Amino acid sequence: MSNIPENLNYTAEHEWIKIEGETGTAGITDFAQGELGDIVFVELPSIGKHVQAGKTFGTIEAIKAVSDLYAPVSGEIVEVNKVLAETPEMINSDPYGEGWIVKIKLSNVSELSNLLSAQKYSELINN
């Protein structure tokens, strides 16, 4: 069974986001990393880049396939997890912790209502 922490919000594209004040830390879910398998590269956005909710902002290369990363919210990239450049497999081993991907400064707080709760996300992946 996939781990789906209660204190996070989710998207249907299998990203998670943790909101603290005006900033959200985002990554991909345990379910997503499990489906992707061994991750060998993450293409990260540059700091200062503006991303739009639902639009791609990077790519993840896993052994089996490449997939896009979708921004869970709109805003400005204020930090990227540089550790992933050398050890992308951190996303596999700790998707909600050391394997976080970006921090986004929110530009539209009302978008938060579009995110899924842990329960809703759990229902989504179990269907």
Partner 1 sequence: MEVKRLALTSLHEGLGAKMVNFGGFLMPVQYKNGIIHEHKVVRSSVGVFDVSHMGEVVVSGENAFDFVQKITVNDVSKLVNGQVQYSAMCYENGGIVDDLLVYKMAENKFFLVINAGNRDKDISWMKQHLPKNVDFQDVGDDYTLLAVQGRNAEKTIQKLTETNLSKINYYFFVEGKIAGMESIISRTGYTGEDGFELYFQTKHSQEVWDKLFEAGKEFGIEPIGLGARDSLRMEMKMALYGNDIDQTTNPVEAGLGWITKLDKSNFIGREALLKVKEEKPKRNLVAFVVDSKRVARQHTKIFANGVEIGEVTSGNYSPSLDKNIGIGFVKSEFSKVGTMLEVEIGANFYKAEVVKPPFYKRDY
d(CA 53, CA 114): 10
Q: Which stretch binds partner 1 (CB under 8 A): 4-12, 33-41, 73-81, 114-122?
A: 33-41
Only one residue has tokens 């398998």, namely 37
Minimum Å distance from CB 87 to partner 1?
Answer: 13
In the complex, the smallest distance separating the C-beta of residue 49 from partner 1, rounded to whole angstroms, is 15
Nearest Cα neighbor of 76 from 51, 97, 95 is 51
Q: Does 108 bind partner 1 (CB under 8 A)?
A: no
Contacts 24+ apart (CB under 8 A), 117-123: 117/9, 117/10, 118/4, 118/5, 118/6, 118/7, 118/8, 118/10, 120/10, 121/4, 121/10, 121/29, 122/4
- Residues that bind partner 1 (rule: CB under 8 A) add up to a total of 12
Nearer to partner 1, 62 or 116 (CB): 62
Q: Footprint of partner 1 on residues 34-93 (CB under 8 A)?
A: 37-38, 40-41, 43, 59, 61, 63-66, 92
Least distance in angstroms from the C-beta of 80 to partner 1: 15
Note the residues at the interface with partner 1 (CB under 8 A).
Answer: 37-38, 40-41, 43, 59, 61, 63-66, 92
